Amino acid sequence: MNIQNTIANAVKEAFKSIYNTEITSVEFQATRKDFEGDITIVVFAFLRFVKGNPVEIGTKIGEYLKENVQEISDFNVVKGFLNLVISDDTFLKDFNDLYTSDEFGIVSPNPSEKSVMVEYSSPNTNKPLHLGHIRNNLLGYSVAEIIAASGKKVYKTQIINDRGIHICKSMLAWKLFGNNETPESTGLKGDKLVGNYYVKFDQEYKKEIAELKANGSSEEDAKKQAPLLLQAQKMLIQWEAGNKEVVDLWKKMNQWVYDGFEITYKELGVDFDKNYYESNTYLLGKDVVAKGLESGVFYRKEDSSVWIDLTEEGLDEKIVLRSDGTAVYMTQDIGTAIERFKDYDLDALTYTVGNEQDYHFKVLFLILKKLGYEWADNLFHLSYGMVDLPSGKMKSREGTVVDADDLMVEMVNTARDISEELGKLEGYSNEEKERLYKIIGLGALKYYILKVDPKKRILFDPKESIDFNGNTGPFIQYTYARIQSILRKSNFEYNTESTKEISLHPKEKEVIKSLQQFPEVIQNAAKNHSPALIANYTYELVKAYNSFYQSVPILGSQNIDEKIMRTRLSKKVADTIKSAFNLLGIAVPERM
């Protein structure tokens, strides 16, 4: 609470006055729900300064605080815990201060400070975005928004993996089997069309392998000698050599994919300040490796490949340049990181990438540190677990991936089915209904994924996520809409605070205490790169509000000052829900 410093100073004065002893710290904790009080001091912690019975010590300190600190109206001692009751006046003053704060909890960036970059999405241009990309995008976007709310200037970026053998496989399959199909001629989004040809390549490639094996080849040889693979490898060499026909086809098919991605991003509600492309960055880092060789950070093996030895740091030896002089992914990532710090005045860079790349980023960050870049200490890998569906694991080349667009459509349809079942939308136009189904469906998807700690693996159940009870997006959205209904029904001025003294119901105090935590929750979520802290805070706030709503009359109160206070409290809860959900990229409905 805001008065913790006041209480801590008063406790230090109490020890000096009562025991002639100076203490260095005061340990606070939330008061347990089964005890009366609003904030608790741990008395046991004082036994290193004074000897005695904890209950007696707590009682003496409590009496001193009640007499000398006007914010404290009462106290009680339970074993080694001093529970303090904060006065209603203090709660009212604190609430009125936060009520008038337009951007409650949100800190504006300091123009003189450096900025933070958050990378997320980073898809391949040989297939559409899938369920795994949804978690990646939601995490990256939300973390960027939370860090911005904590007072930092933030840049959102992605690196699009638009080159390599996987791209050539789609290109070759389209060239051989596509009959000049286009997104326009098929009615398919461009990323889906190109993804279909990635699957087609795999199907035809497997046929060739089977045929070669039937003619006596080993499986290993068949995989290497299949004509389709050899053609794809040749196409990659032609692309790197700048062959016009291949490059033109690459540009055309990649543009189809970019256009498709844009539609998905817009539907998902995420955006980027800058796109990087692997086709522009894959040669970056080679000069850095050359300098690192001179300074002894890297070493060259007999076959001319270049490596770094990280065994002393508990890792292994890592290649950074092949024997033919071509770059590996690590080389490119070294160069791209350096490029980004040149492009922007960055203080920190966060990579949103699945946990299967944990080792890669440990190595990358360590190499950059050994190369002498001080900012390497401010690199962070936002590592997250995979998303599973009840049906099992996804494989894109076999066409069994859960498509991001299809999942979003399914979420909206599920929201429609459940809403119609509950029959709560009488009087809505069809357009209003469809807008609401989208808000509920996508809100359910986003909340279900973001409420889980990023490091944990998720089993995503679409139907379970759209539940109007429990820790779900729709439950919180429904509370927001309920409050909007209260505000619409209020026929009195509630934005001007009452000057009269009123008594607060314990449930009102609980809601105010919950609201006061929001600024700290934002800072902690930014520090820990965890939207889950925002999501679960919002759920706890809504639970506290619903308990208050069930316990006391709001518009039905006979006391106008109570009515004003409770309406103001409801509005601030709604504003905080909206602000928190904005940080998660989730919309809230005015009616529901």
Tokens linked to 279 = 């086709």
Please, what is the Cα angle at 489 between 487 and 493, to 5 degrees? 65
Report residues of the chain scoring pLDDT below 50: 393-399
3-state SS, residue 569: helix
- Report how far residue 592's alpha carbon sits from residue 589's, in angstroms, rounded to the nearest whole number: 6
Burial of 558 (0-12, 13-18, 19+ CB in 10 A): exposed
Q: DSSP secondary-structure letter at 396?
A: G
What confidence score (pLDDT) does residue 3 get?
A: 82
Bridge partners of 382, per DSSP, are: 352
The residue behind tokens 């049906």 is: 391
What confidence score (pLDDT) does residue 391 get?
A: 65
- Report how far residue 270's alpha carbon sits from residue 275's, in angstroms, rounded to the nearest whole number: 13
- Report how far residue 442's alpha carbon sits from residue 409's, in angstroms, rounded to the nearest whole number: 9
- What the chain holds in terms of domains, given with CATH numbers, is 4-86 (3.30.1360.70), 116-281+345-398 (3.40.50.620), 410-583 (1.10.730.10)
The CA-atom distances, in angstroms, between 116 and each of 143, 221, 485, 550 are 11, 48, 39, 43
Give the torsion sign (CA, 502, 504, 508, 511): positive
Rounded to the nearest 5°, which phi and psi values hold at 317? Answer: -85, 140
| pLDDT tens digits, 289-330 | 999 999 999 999 999 999 999 999 999 999 999 999 888 999
What confidence score (pLDDT) does residue 396 get?
A: 40
| 573 within 8 A of 511, measured Cβ to Cβ | yes
Q: What is the pTM of this model?
A: 0.91
What confidence score (pLDDT) does residue 394 get?
A: 40
Closest CA to 565 of 450, 143, 573: 573
3-state SS, residue 80: coil
Please, what is the Cα angle at 238 between 232 and 240, to 5 degrees? 105
